[in-house]
Amino acid sequence: MDITIFLTVIGLIIAFLSYRRTFSPPPKQPIEDDVLVFQARFKMVQKIHLETQQLLREFIEKHDCGDEKMRDGFTYSQFLEEMEKAFPDSNSDKVLENALSNLTNKPQVDQLMGELDIQYNALNPVYKQMRILINR
């Protein structure tokens, strides 16, 4: 008789745990790892932005070509000026701090990662072009 009660209790515990595992919501995944990846990508894009500005400055000084056409109707000097204007609102440490303080969920992190990818895809060809030109 005691073994019957014992097995019944064990059966109820197993049934309860199975039910709970099957029907409980999935655990929330922490976003700390995603935030670290975002922060690293942000710093990478920030570095490319600053290095591209520096390469443009060096190229303009070396070749005295600030008024020559670069791309998209911009001269080298105009392009550099636009990059310098855009930096505080797009890639500065202040922007990063603000973004980090407001990140609360994965969709926000994913959205900002998408924006970083867009910036990277726009900056990288210019960066590569300037690296080639400055080393000539």
pLDDT in tens, 3-22: 677 667 676 677 776 777 77
**pLDDT, tens only, 38-73:** 999 999 999 999 999 999 999 999 999 899 998 888
Those residues whose C-beta lies under 8 Å from the C-beta of residue 83, and which sit 6 or more positions away, are 49, 52, 53, 56
Task: Give the predicted TM-score (pTM) of the model.
Answer: 0.75
Amino acid of residue 85 = K
Phi/psi at 2 (5° precision): -65, -35
Q: How many of the other CB atoms lie within 10 Å of CB of 56?
A: 25
Domains of the chain, by residue range, sit at 30-134
Q: Which of 53, 41, 35, 39 is nearest to 108 (CA)?
A: 35
